[in-house]
Amino acid sequence: MGHQAASSTAATYSLLLLCVIHNCFANELKANQTALLSVDASLESAREIPATLFGIFFEEINHAGAGGLWAELVSNRGFEAGGTNTPSNINPWSIIGNESFIYVSTDKTSCFERNKVALRMEVLCDSSGSIICPPDGVGIYNPGYWGMNIEQGKTYKVILHVRSSDSVNISVSLTSSDGSQKLASTNMLANASDVSNWTKMEFLLQSEGTNRSSRFQLTTTNKCVIWFDQVSVMPLDTYMGHGFRKELASMLEDLSPRFMRFPGGTFVEGIWLRNAFRWKATIGPWEERPGHFGDVWQYWTDDGLGYFELLQLAEDLGVSPVWVINCGISRNDEVETADILPFVQEILDSIEFARGSSNSTWGSARAAMGHPEPFQLNYVAIGNEDCGLKYYRGNYLKFYYAIKAAYPDIKIISNCDGSSTKLDHPADLYDFHIYTSASNMFSTNRKFDDTSRTGPKAFVSEYAVTGSDAGRGSLLAAVAEAGFLIGLERNSDVVEMASYAPLFVNANDRRWNPDAIVFNSWQQYGTPSYWMQHFFKESSGATYHPTTIKANASNSLVASAITWQSLEDENSYLKIKIVNFGNATVNLNICVTGLQNAVNSVGSTKTILTSTNLMDENSFTEPKKVVPVQTSLSNAGTQMVVAISPHSITSFDLSLSQACSKSVI
DSSP 8-state code for residue 662: P
Q: Considering Cα of 477, then 483, then 484, then 486, what sign does the dihedral take?
A: positive
Least spacing, CB of residue 216 vs ligand AHR, in Å = 31
Contact 639, 591 (CB under 8 A): yes
Query: By C-beta, is 270 or 487 nearer to ligand AHR?
Result: 270
Least spacing, CB of residue 512 vs ligand AHR, in Å = 5
Give the H/E segment covering residue 202: strand 199-206
Q: How far is CA 542 from CA 329, 371, 463, in A?
A: 38, 32, 22
Give the H/E segment covering residue 201: strand 199-206
Least spacing, CB of residue 292 vs ligand AHR, in Å = 16
Least spacing, CB of residue 664 vs ligand AHR, in Å = 45
Least spacing, CB of residue 462 vs ligand AHR, in Å = 5
Q: Count CB neighbours of 632 within 10 A.
A: 11
Least spacing, CB of residue 329 vs ligand AHR, in Å = 13
Least spacing, CB of residue 464 vs ligand AHR, in Å = 7
Query: By C-beta, is 267 or 362 nearer to ligand AHR?
Result: 267
Q: Count CB neighbours of 561 within 10 A.
A: 26
Give CA–CA dist 399/412, Å, rounded.
9
Query: By C-beta, is 40 or 269 nearer to ligand AHR?
Result: 269
Least spacing, CB of residue 61 vs ligand AHR, in Å = 6
Point out which residues bind ligand AHR (CB under 6 A): 59, 61, 264-266, 384-385, 462, 501-502, 512
Query: By C-beta, is 384 or 560 nearer to ligand AHR?
Result: 384
Contact 613, 474 (CB under 8 A): no
Query: By C-beta, is 267 or 544 nearer to ligand AHR?
Result: 267
Give CA–CA dist 432/455, Å, rounded.
15
Q: What are phi and psi of 476, to 5 degrees?
A: -55, -45
Contact 87, 105 (CB under 8 A): yes
DSSP 8-state code for residue 112: -
Least spacing, CB of residue 268 vs ligand AHR, in Å = 8
Least spacing, CB of residue 297 vs ligand AHR, in Å = 8
Give CA–CA dist 321/327, Å, rounded.
18
**DSSP letters spanning 93-153:** -EEES-TTTEEEEEES--S-TT---EEEEEE--BSSSSSBPPTT-EEEEE-TTTSEEE-TT
Query: By C-beta, is 39 or 458 nearer to ligand AHR?
Result: 458
Give CA–CA dist 222/239, Å, rounded.
39
Least spacing, CB of residue 95 vs ligand AHR, in Å = 36
41 by Cβ neighbours in 10 Å (0-12 / 13-18 / 19+) ranks as buried
Query: By C-beta, is 59 or 352 nearer to ligand AHR?
Result: 59
Q: How far is CA 103 from CA 96, 143, 444, 537, in A?
A: 10, 20, 61, 56
Helix count (H) and strand count (E) of the chain? 11, 35
Query: By C-beta, is 81 or 268 nearer to ligand AHR?
Result: 268
Give CA–CA dist 301/293, Å, rounded.
6
287: nearest Cα among 228, 219, 349: 228
Query: By C-beta, is 173 or 384 nearer to ligand AHR?
Result: 384
214: nearest Cα among 146, 153, 273: 146
Query: By C-beta, is 239 or 512 nearer to ligand AHR?
Result: 512
Residue of minimal CB distance from ligand AHR?
Answer: 265
Query: By C-beta, is 265 or 473 nearer to ligand AHR?
Result: 265
